[in-house]
Amino acid sequence: MRELAGEDGRSEGLVPAARSPGPVPEHGPVWSAGVSRRLLARYYLPQHHTTLQGNACRLLRDGVEAYPEMLEAIRRARRSIRLETYMFVTDAVGELFGQALAEAAERGVHVKVLYDAVGSWTSRRSFFEGLRARGVDVRAFKPFSLQRGLRHLLRRDHRKILVVDGTVAFTGGVNIAAHWAPEGQGVAWRDDVLRIEGPAVHELERRFLATWRMMFRDRLSRLRRRIRGGAQALEARPRKGDVGLAVLSSRRSIHRAYLHAIQRARASVLIAAGYFVPDRRMVAALKDAAKRGVEVSLLLNGGKSDHPFLEHATRAFYEPLMDAGIRIFEWRRGVLHAKTAVVDGVWGTIGSFNLERLSLAFNHEVNAVFADPRLGRDLEDSFRLDCGNCREVDLAAFRRRPLWQKAVERVLYFFRKVL
């Protein structure tokens, strides 16, 4: 461990020294909430967004860990459930969630479900009609409409939010589908979810309700919120822990948060990206960090992506990144769908935002940004565990790949903004 000095030379706290991806390191010391606040100020831009102290957060890996806790929260709900998801697939997992949501509505819980019409296009309409018949207010975000043009079709709701009773929330990359918790011997899609209790729960609920009102102009719901909103907000505000969080729902703000943290990094930048087609500023920030001695490692899809064209476009970035000293690990145990980053073991983000064109230009996204050494350590440990199960890309071997593959990569790189 080493001390991290601030811009004025004063100590800002402790940051783990850079470590090679591999075995999970031993846990370090206990950190104070005061250090967490200073770190959030260092790695993030608090003047642009509200940062909320006093949250209790826990990292959940894949649907295998996330789904049981989400379902338990739904089954314990007494007042309200807000679920927003890109994919709500009518498979075994979808049926399980549908049953839990319907049972909650039948016992008097106010249940709102918002799913994306494109992301859930394979789902049965009768499934959602059955939920409505049992009292669930379930609606599609921007159903297909040729009259509204291509831009209407491209702007999708890519968020993953579950808020129960205004007291507990879940956000990350996991949708409602069996891909994240397959039956039998299937390999689950690799993903992360953050379970949150504390003031940030209210912010996630506000993001959900803002999208709901924008789409459906639910004036009656708005009136009810004005009447009882003050009491609910107070109920959501008690401190539950010492994690400082910012909830970001602006695509540009999430992108700026990434850039700012990478530019301030002094030990390590570890990014897991299911879809990785970065813009020039992101590439420059990563290369600059590596050149000044920061450990920069990327965990990317390695042959089993659900978007193979995008994967080929991603490989067009490999040589310039590795030339700058950046290490690249390819995930080959199924599909990597995670969208997480951890910097210096203390700053991190978990959410729905992908480092590619659609997330930056069109999609509705949400990310939780934190600065907390204990949660950062958990996320870093998880990242390094995954890298231990990956193949690191060797630059010399990569340069010897077939000519046809290089040609495909260059063509798809040219069309990277529309993939």
pLDDT tens digits for 21-73? Answer: 544 444 444 445 556 566 666 776 655 567 788 999 999 999 999 999 999 99
Q: Which sign, positive or negative, has the C-alpha torsion 76, 80, 82, 83? A: positive
Residue 105, Ramachandran bin (φ over 0: left; ψ between -120 and 50: alpha; else beta): alpha
**Minimal CA–CA distance to 331: which of 187, 170, 144, 169?**
187
Which of 129-143, 210-224, 235-249 holds the top average pLDDT? 129-143
- In the predicted model, what is the mean pLDDT of the chain? 85
| Tokens linked to 34 | 């005061």
* pLDDT tens for each residue of 120-147: 999 999 999 999 999 999 999 988 766 6
CATH architecture of 57-241: 2-Layer Sandwich (3.30)
* pLDDT at res. 69: 98
Q: Which CATH superfamily is domain 18-55+246-414 in?
A: Endonuclease Chain A (3.30.870.10)
Per DSSP, the chain holds a count of helices (H) and strands (E) of: 15, 17
| Tokens linked to 232 | 């609910």
Q: Which residues make Cβ contacts (< 8 Å) with residue 181, sequence separation at least 6?
A: 62, 63, 64, 67, 93, 188
Q: Which band of pLDDT confidence, cut at 50, 70 and 90, is reported for residue 283?
A: very high
* pLDDT at res. 216: 78
* pLDDT tens for each residue of 158-188: 999 999 999 999 999 999 999 998 765 567 8
Q: Which sign, positive or negative, has the C-alpha torsion 67, 72, 75, 78? A: negative
| Tokens linked to 249 | 């729902």
Q: How far is CA 159 from CA 155, 189, 211, 267, in A?
A: 12, 17, 10, 31
| Tokens linked to 256 | 């700026």
Task: Give percent of the chain with pLDDT exceeding 90.
Answer: 63
Cα separation, 83 vs 205, in Å, equals 9
Give CATH 3.30.870.10 domain extents, the chain: 18-55+246-414, 57-241
Instruction: Give 3-state DSSP helix, strand, coil % of the chain, rounded to 5.
Output: 40, 25, 35
pTM: 0.86
Task: Give percent of the chain with pLDDT exceeding 70.
Answer: 80
Over residues 328-351, mean pLDDT: 94
* pLDDT at res. 251: 83
Q: DSSP states of 309-367 as a string? A: HHHHHHHTTHHHHHHTT-EEEEE-SS-B--EEEEETTTEEEEES--BSHHHHHT-B--E
Over residues 101-115, mean pLDDT: 98
Over residues 361-387, mean pLDDT: 93
What is the H or E stretch that residue 400 is in? none
Cα separation, 55 vs 202, in Å, equals 11
